[in-house]
């Protein structure tokens, strides 16, 4: 499975070279309201927000922290990567290791990898019925122990937390004088360029 993800990541890095990142817009709505489609849509909404919140961040944006004790924007992006990985892993009941074994090493790679994880997660959730979603588990491995939670914890945990932190990035970049594109419309899931 790791090999498949790295192929997926490589494909997305080649798109990055063409300045095409996933989730620039929220895809058309599915035809049915299944449990999986609701989770897919939530993940797509997160990915769309993250896409625009992290687009064209400057060094001063990445280094910004609202107080000496607070996380910087870049540290927040690292946390968001971990949350995106946990969301993707829950979409296939794969354990998430804490602390993480690997992390992309710079802003561009971190952004591309996070968007790739969110896109993969939304695709994994898509069209799953209630039975398939109920069977999924959020699995965390920490310190030699494994903790297993129902999919509900994904919604009130990593998914909601990622939305919260993406909003922080929007606020931080506004503070540094680099607001998100004014055409971003989270209600419609499209951006007027």
Residue with structure tokens 């297993």? 148
Q: What is the largest CA-CA distance in the chain?
A: 49
Dihedral of CA 166/170/175/177: which sign?
positive
**Token output for 128:** 């799953």
Cβ atoms 185, 44 nearer than 8 A: no
Please provide the size of the chain in residues: 193
> Domains of the chain (ranges plus CATH)?
33-182 (1.20.120.450)
pTM score of the predicted model = 0.89
In order along its 193 residues, the chain shows pLDDT tens digits of 454 444 445 544 444 444 678 999 999 999 999 999 999 999 999 999 999 999 999 999 999 999 999 999 999 999 999 999 999 999 999 999 998 888 998 999 999 999 999 999 999 999 999 999 999 999 999 999 999 999 999 999 999 999 999 999 999 999 999 999 999 999 999 999 8
Q: What is the dihedral of CA 164, 32, 93, 132, to 10 degrees?
A: 140
The separation between CA 114 and the C-alpha centre of its own chain, rounded to angstroms, equals: 5
Residue with structure tokens 């919260």? 164
């Amino acid at each position: 499975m790791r090999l498949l993800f790295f192929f997926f990541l490589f494909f997305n890095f080649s798109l990055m070279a063409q300045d095409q990142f996933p989730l620039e817009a929220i895809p058309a709505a599915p035809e049915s309201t299944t449990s999986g489609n609701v989770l897919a849509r939530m993940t797509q909404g997160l990915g769309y927000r993250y896409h625009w919140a992290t687009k064209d961040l400057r060094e001063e944006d990445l280094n910004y922290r609202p107080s000496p004790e607070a996380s910087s924007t870049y540290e927040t992006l690292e946390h968001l990567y971990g949350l995106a990985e946990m969301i993707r892993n829950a979409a296939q009941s794969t354990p998430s290791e804490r602390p993480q074994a690997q992390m992309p090493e710079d802003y561009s790679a971190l952004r591309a990898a996070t968007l790739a994880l969110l896109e993969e997660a939304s695709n994994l959730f898509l069209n799953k019925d209630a039975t398939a979603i109920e069977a999924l588990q959020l699995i965390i491995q920490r310190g030699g122990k494994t903790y297993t939670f129902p999919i509900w914890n994904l919604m009130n945990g990593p998914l909601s937390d990622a939305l919260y932190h993406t909003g922080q990035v929007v606020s931080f970049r506004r503070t540094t004088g680099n607001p998100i594109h004014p055409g971003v419309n989270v209600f419609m899931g499209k951006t007027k360029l």
